[in-house]
Amino acid sequence: MSKVSYRFKNGKVIISNRLVYPEQVNEKVFGELSRSEYKDILPLERKSRGRDTVLSCEISGAVPLKEYFSDVMSKKVFLNIVEGLIGVIKYCGERMLNTGNLYLTEESVFISPTTSRLTVIYWPVVNNMLSLPAGAFFKELINDLQLAREDDHFFVSSYKEHFSSGLFSLNEFERFIKELRYGAEPLPERAADEQNQPVVREEKGIAYDPFSAVAAVRKSTPKKPQVMCPMCGELEESGAAVCSHCGSSLTVKVQQSSHGQQYPALMNTLRGSIYIIDSERYVIGSSSGCSCCIPSSALADRHAMVVFKNGQYFLQCLTSLGTVMLNGEPVGCSDMRPMHLGSSFVLADEQFVFTVTDARPTI
């Protein structure tokens, strides 16, 4: 695990990150960060200590969120901070930065006590061992909140309940925070008579969490167990594509639900895209001949492959570059590792989540 250290010098906080194998610096993004080309992200420096590479940054005139939260604050201030951090994450995504490389902890996100400006750290690292999910950060953030006695305390339980499903979508979370701030008035795509109905939309990007629709279908539709999952032994409705208990695939064919077809898919969290897995050997790479072609110089022509075998989906590494990670663990060349619903993997600078979606593949 990379070692991050904090030290104080001449009124500044200096944060250092010592890289470990198989981490590598993304030279292009590092150059941009060292030139301070991104707002609200600290510029970086690089030093070599023996065989080690150390990335560091420094900040003054701001305090960590953990210290800022030690004082009493209002609901409005807290939600302003959360909304500001959502904006930072979306800003990174819009500029094609891997948002998984944002170092989101209460000790490493800084806020100015005078201007309330937020500043974050971004480690431009391939195979980043410090990749932290935004959902886990936001879930824990409220635990240190100290509200004034006269403030609204009821929103805290609603905030915690939002994370009860274990699934996280930044866009849905942003929508939820706006409702907490401004009230629960229906947004344009949710008419008054649809407030108690699942919202299902077909989108080219990730404008909502496809798990939400899947979960709504599973809760509202009585199950008729007829098929046994080969991995966990649980029974599922005949025709189901994915086991709802362990996430194993039951068939490569699609599932028919009341909302239409459901397809096994990959969500690219960096580019905001969904790729339908439409074959038993689904190759990902930069070559135009791949099932999923992503124009990235960091990817090999054939970088990795999603394989459907014996009722289970696997991720296989096709490159010797050492830039394939599944759930935080490196995958060696030619190795094949099982994936489950919600599994995340990284190919160089591209980050994916294995999921299912109602979106129809484009012809």
pLDDT at 56 over 90: yes
pLDDT at 42 over 60: yes
Alpha carbon distance 305, 308 (integer Å):
10
| CB of 355 closer than 8 Å to CB of 212 | no
pLDDT at 202 over 50: no
Q: pLDDT grade, residue 323 (50/70/90)?
A: confident
Alpha carbon distance 342, 207 (integer Å):
17
| CB of 208 closer than 8 Å to CB of 199 | yes
Residue 151 CB contacts under 8 Å (≥ 6 apart), including other chains: 74, 75
Alpha carbon distance 252, 242 (integer Å):
9
To the nearest 10 degrees (0 to 180), the angle between helices 75-94 and 134-141 is: 170
CATH topology of domain 264-357: Tumour Suppressor Smad4 (2.60.200)
When pLDDT is averaged across residues 69-90 and rounded to a whole number, the result is 91
**Strand ranges, E, within 107-181:** 110-111, 118-119, 125-126
pLDDT at 354 over 60: yes
pLDDT of the residue at 227: 54
Percentage of the chain exceeding pLDDT 70: 75
Sequence ranges of the chain with CATH classification 2.60.200.20:
264-357
When pLDDT is averaged across residues 257-264 and rounded to a whole number, the result is 58
pLDDT of the residue at 187: 44
Mean pLDDT of the chain: 78
Q: How far is CA 285 from CA 94, 237, 302, 352, in A?
A: 22, 35, 4, 13
Burial readout 272-291 (b: 16 or more C-beta within 10 A, e: otherwise): bbbbbbeeeebbbbbeeebb
Q: Which of 164-178, 200-214, 251-265 has the lowest mean pLDDT?
A: 200-214
How do residues 133-168 score in pLDDT, each as one tens digit? 888 899 999 988 888 787 778 889 999 999 888 778
Alpha carbon distance 362, 351 (integer Å):
22
What are the phi and psi torsion angles at 304 (to 5°)? -155, 170
When pLDDT is averaged across residues 197-224 and rounded to a whole number, the result is 42
| CB of 122 closer than 8 Å to CB of 92 | yes
- 357 vs 103: which has the higher pLDDT: 103
In what helix (H) or strand (E) does residue 29 lie, and over which residues does it extend? helix 27-34
When pLDDT is averaged across residues 75-97 and rounded to a whole number, the result is 90
Sequence ranges of the chain with CATH classification 1.10.510:
3-182
pLDDT at 172 over 80: yes
When pLDDT is averaged across residues 52-81 and rounded to a whole number, the result is 91
pLDDT of the residue at 237: 65
Domain 3-182 has CATH 1.10.510: yes
